[in-house]
Amino acid sequence: WKDKLKARYDDFRKKGWTLQQTTKPSSFRWVGFKTLVQTAIVHSVIKSRDQVVRETRFEMTYTWTKTRHGWYVSEARLNPRVESSAQP
């Protein structure tokens, strides 16, 4: 999977594309004392200079786990797509 990811971003660089993502938390819920489940809407925009190539909104679920060293994401899951638009 690392090679696929590297190839994808090499392709982005060759085309001069940029990726911008913003995350907006939509809900939180506790599961036990040391686990927090967060749902967030991610807005992803791929641009070629000032022109939008693709704009996508999707929902992610993150499971945060607390250890004695702090919090970390123990699981990240992509939920069904909310909205997508490809520009011609």
* CATH code of 66's domain: 3.10.450.50
3-state secondary structure of 11: helix
pLDDT tens per residue across span 4-62: 777 877 887 888 888 889 999 999 999 999 999 999 999 999 999 889 999 989 999 99
Strands 17-30 and 35-48: antiparallel
Domain annotation covers residue 82: yes
pLDDT at 11: 80
Q: Record the pTM.
A: 0.65
pLDDT at 76: 92
Number of domains in the chain: 1
pLDDT exceeds 70 at position 82: no
Average pLDDT over residues 74-85: 76
The partner residues of 19 in beta bridges, in order of sequence, read: 46
| Cβ partners under 8 Å of residue 75, min gap 6 | 61, 62, 63
Q: Could you tell me the residue range of the domain that residue 24 belongs to?
A: 17-86
Distance (Å, whole) CA 2 – CA 6:
6
